[in-house]
């Protein structure tokens, strides 16, 4: 069984936002004052699992749990355990997670014991005060200890860094040196205009095209064949023992190879991170409709998956995406 969209892209990757809540407030992701959803609007773990089951039946091989912060969702390990059990008798091959790492020290062992072998940890700076500034109140030590614990438990950690203007764009080599010392692959991400934050997007955005060219003078990059299921392009260098990835939704569109869709914590299926259209599954899951109906709606959603996002960042245009990143996750 294989899911394809209207442009014949094979869709085998599902990202699931298990909560809109988070213990941080990264300035490019959220406003300082956020209203989180009442509990009854968020899918229960059973509803999430049933939706995942239907996607898996239709050919989804990889699920990434995200949020909000997935590790603040109560009983998240229970969901992971149930999904992990499916790997032996369904299409599902891999479960991964994107986390801010603040609770990783506590959960790393449980993640590993329940089949999570790779995670992405978001980290934009390795300077304590600056970490607090970008996350509004995070504690860098928690994340660093979490990463150590994950590595100790044989979880492969990749670092994701959003490049934010006048914050870390002149500290990229410090991050590369730090990650290289720890042997952690590192991916840089361009700010995307998803939802309104407290600062206009054009004051946050830095083109990774420019950063790549600057770094290339130092590292003389070679393009790597390595790919995860995500959109990152990886490079190696004789000066480094790690791979450096670049996710460039604005400076280098990669939609032609898109293989994924996203479920929000409220059960909306977003066919594209950079568009507002969705198909709502929450009411279906809470009705007496059967799984065949759910599968029909998934197929319908894929038949209208947009060709590409229309992200644009400049001082004239207000972001057209009317939700924050914590709704659909990264």
Residue nearer to ligand SF4 on the CB measure, 43 or 189: 189
DSSP-derived secondary structure letter, 60: -
3-state secondary structure 134-169: HHCCCCHHHHHHHHHHHHHCCCEEEEEEEECCCCCC
Residue 246: count of CB within 10 angstroms of its CB? 22
Dig out the tokens for 245 from the structure.
């990835």
Residue 139: count of CB within 10 angstroms of its CB? 15
Confirm or reject binding of residue 99 to ligand SAM (CB under 6 A). yes
> By rule CB under 6 A, what string of x and - marks binding of each residue 109-148 to ligand SAM?
-------------x--------------------------
Q: List residues near ligand SF4 by CB under 6 A.
A: 22, 24-26, 29-30, 67-69, 100, 122, 325-326
Element (H, E) at 112: helix 104-113
Confirm or reject binding of residue 231 to ligand SAM (CB under 6 A). no
| Least spacing, CB of residue 34 vs ligand SF4, in Å | 9
Residue nearer to ligand SAM on the CB measure, 83 or 103: 103
Among the listed ranges 41-49, 185-193, 262-270, 291-299, the one in contact with ligand SAM (CB under 6 A) is 185-193
Among the listed ranges 21-29, 36-44, 56-64, 227-235, the one in contact with ligand SAM (CB under 6 A) is 21-29
**What's the rounded Cα separation, in Å, for the pair 51 and 43?**
10
**What's the rounded Cα separation, in Å, for the pair 72 and 95?**
18
Find which of ligand SF4, ligand SAM, none residue 243 binds, CB within 5 to 8 Å per kind.
none
Find which of ligand SAM, ligand SF4, none residue 25 binds, CB within 5 to 8 Å per kind.
ligand SF4
Dig out the tokens for 66 from the structure.
């995200």
- Are 24 and 271 within 8 A, CB to CB? no
Residue nearer to ligand SAM on the CB measure, 122 or 237: 122
**What's the rounded Cα separation, in Å, for the pair 153 and 147?**
10
- Are 42 and 19 within 8 A, CB to CB? yes
Find which of ligand SF4, ligand SAM, none residue 192 binds, CB within 5 to 8 Å per kind.
ligand SAM
Find which of ligand SF4, ligand SAM, none residue 125 binds, CB within 5 to 8 Å per kind.
none
- Are 94 and 62 within 8 A, CB to CB? yes
Dig out the tokens for 307 from the structure.
């060709």
Q: Give the burial class of 16: count Cβ atoms within 10 A of its Cβ; 0-12 exposed, 13-18 middle, 19 or more buried.
A: buried
Stretch 32-91 residues interacting with ligand SAM (CB under 6 A):
66-67, 69
Residue nearer to ligand SF4 on the CB measure, 23 or 169: 23
In sequence order, the 6+-apart residues with CB closer than 8 A to the CB of 100 are 22, 23, 24, 26, 69, 121, 122, 135, 138, 143
| Least spacing, CB of residue 9 vs ligand SAM, in Å | 22
| Least spacing, CB of residue 270 vs ligand SF4, in Å | 16
Determine the residue with CB nearest ligand SAM.
330
Confirm or reject binding of residue 96 to ligand SAM (CB under 6 A). no
| Least spacing, CB of residue 154 vs ligand SF4, in Å | 24
Residues that bind ligand SAM (CB under 6 A): 22, 28-29, 66-67, 69, 98-100, 122, 160, 162, 189, 191-192, 194, 325-326, 329-330
């Amino acid at each position: 069984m294989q899911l394809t969209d209207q442009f014949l892209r094979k869709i085998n990757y599902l990202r699931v936002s298990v909560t809109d809540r988070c213990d941080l407030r990264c300035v490019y992701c959220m406003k300082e004052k956020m209203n989180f959803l009442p509990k009854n609007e968020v899918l229960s773990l059973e509803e999430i699992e049933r939706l995942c089951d239907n996607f898996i039946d239709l050919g989804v091989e990889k699920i990434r749990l995200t949020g909000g912060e997935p590790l603040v969702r109560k009983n998240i390990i229970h969901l992971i355990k149930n999904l992990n059990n499916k790997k032996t008798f369904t299409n599902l091959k891999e479960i991964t997670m994107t986390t801010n790492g603040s609770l990783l020290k506590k959960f790393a062992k449980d993640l590993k014991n329940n089949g999570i072998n790779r995670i992405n940890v978001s980290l934009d700076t390795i300077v304590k005060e600056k970490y607090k500034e970008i996350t509004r109140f995070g504690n860098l030590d928690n994340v660093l200890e979490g990463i150590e614990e994950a590595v100790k438990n044989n979880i492969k950690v990749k670092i994701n860094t959003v490049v934010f203007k006048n914050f870390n764009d002149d500290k990229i080599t410090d991050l590369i040196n730090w990650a290289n010392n720890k042997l952690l692959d590192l991916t840089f991400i361009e700010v995307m205009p998803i939802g309104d934050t407290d600062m206009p997007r054009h004051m946050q955005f830095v083109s990774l095209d420019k950063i790549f060219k600057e770094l290339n003078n130092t590292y003389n990059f070679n393009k790597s064949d390595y790919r995860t299921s995500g959109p990152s392009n990886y490079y190696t260098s004789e000066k480094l023992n790690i791979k450096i990835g670049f996710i460039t939704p604005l400076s280098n569109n990669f939609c032609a190879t898109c293989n994924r869709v996203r479920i929000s914590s409220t059960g909306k299926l977003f066919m594209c991170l950079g568009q507002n259209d969705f198909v709502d599954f929450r009411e279906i899951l809470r009705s007496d409709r059967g799984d065949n109906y759910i599968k029909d709606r998934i197929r319908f959603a894929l038949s209208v998956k947009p060709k590409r996002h229309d992200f644009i960042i400049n001082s004239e245009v207000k972001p057209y995406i009317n939700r924050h990143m914590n709704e659909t996750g990264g």
